[in-house]
Amino acid sequence: ESLAGHLSTRLKGLDEALCGGIPFGVLTELVGPAGIGKTQFCLKLSLLASLPTNCGGLDGRVIYIDVESKFRSKRLIEIGINSFPEIFLKKGMAQEMAGRILILHPTSLSEFAESLHQIRVSLLQQQVKLLIIDSMAALVLGEHDSEASRQQALGWHVSFIKSLAEFSRIPVVLTNQVRSQIGDESRMYSFQAQSHSIIKDNPATYDSHLVAALGINWAHAVTIRLVLEARSGQRFIKLAKSPISAPLAFPFKITSSGLVL
Ligand code: GTP
């Protein structure tokens, strides 16, 4: 376990920029277009949190809120076998590691609220070392209530998720999709004037539908924002918001070992 309270991403430059990795106790957001690799990154982080400490992991359990049913345990095990063969090729270990990840499938904020009790109990009793919400925007957009009540409920949930991170002192990672597609560079993160005053810290990472979905307080609830994007066929992970680092970008690939630099 990293001493200062970070989950190492094993992406060297990124870990250095983040002083060790994804910090405990705060919210880290992964933003990017469909298919860029947000879920793949979440799978890798889940493995890293469940690995034994002598392999650089957190030796814990993971709560994975899989809103759009995109979690694939086969893919998780493939990444595990290729990245950590010394663990995953031992008899029964692949199943043991996959079993450390508790997957929940709420499709709306109200269903999520129902699962919060279980999350809270697990955080306290089950050695949970990572909470993932993939994706926050999908959770919010799945809500059928009126816009006003949704915004009110969202404010409450955002505060609650923040407090979960703080009291349990674990990393909390949330994904959000922006509308643009890979390769559609002209429209990538097309900046809408109406969101300008709202997302001052990094306007280019948000498009208006995300701001509309998540409300004005969201951007401020997040401590670290990592933007995944593609330029000229190369994918990049960009540290777009951080209290400790200047904006930096690192090229990455998605292979049989998952997300690698
Ligand atoms: P949305 O949830 O739609 O917003 O996308 P996302 O950002 O979560 O994308 P995701 O993490 O699902 O990444 C999809 C990309 O990962 C694909 O374009 C592939 O390049 C890559 N990928 C997914 N599965 C595999 C796999 O089994 N092997 C390899 N090598 N790459 C994969």
Residue 162 pLDDT > 90, yes or no? yes
Per-residue pLDDT at 41: 98
Q: How far is the CA of 82 from the centre of ligand 1 (A)?
A: 17
b/e code 64-74 from CB counts within 10 Å (16+ = b): bbbbeebbebe
Average pLDDT score over residue span 134-138: 91
34 Cβ closer than 6 Å to some ligand 1 atom: yes
Per-residue pLDDT at 187: 38
Average pLDDT score over residue span 128-138: 94
Higher pLDDT, 151 or 9: 9
- Range from 122-126, 187-191, 242-246 that averages highest in pLDDT: 242-246
Query: Among 38, 40, 178, 227, which residue has the most ligand 1 atoms within 8 Å of its CB, making it the best to mutate?
Result: 40
Q: How far is the CA of 34 from the centre of ligand 1 (A)?
A: 9
Residue located nearest, by CA, to atom 27 of ligand 1: 75
Higher pLDDT, 213 or 187: 213
Per-residue pLDDT at 180: 60
Pairing outcome for strands 101-104 and 27-33: unpaired
Residue 69 pLDDT > 90, yes or no? yes
Q: What is the average pLDDT score of the chain? A: 85
ipTM above 0.90, yes or no: yes
Per-residue pLDDT at 144: 64
Enter the tokens of residue 58.
Answer: 């957190």
Atom index in ligand 1 nearest the CA of residue 78 equals 27
177 Cβ closer than 6 Å to some ligand 1 atom: yes
DSSP letter at 36 equals S
Answer whether the bond into residue 197 is a cis peptide, omega within 30°: no
Enter the tokens of residue 254.
Answer: 């998605």
256 Cβ closer than 6 Å to some ligand 1 atom: yes
Enter the tokens of residue 257.
Answer: 């070992």
Higher pLDDT, 122 or 203: 122
Residue located nearest, by CA, to atom 18 of ligand 1: 35
Could you report the per-residue pLDDT of 206-244, keeping only the tens digit for each? Answer: 667 777 778 777 888 999 999 999 999 999 999 998 998
Q: What pTM was computed for the model?
A: 0.89
Atom index in ligand 1 nearest the CA of residue 30 equals 7
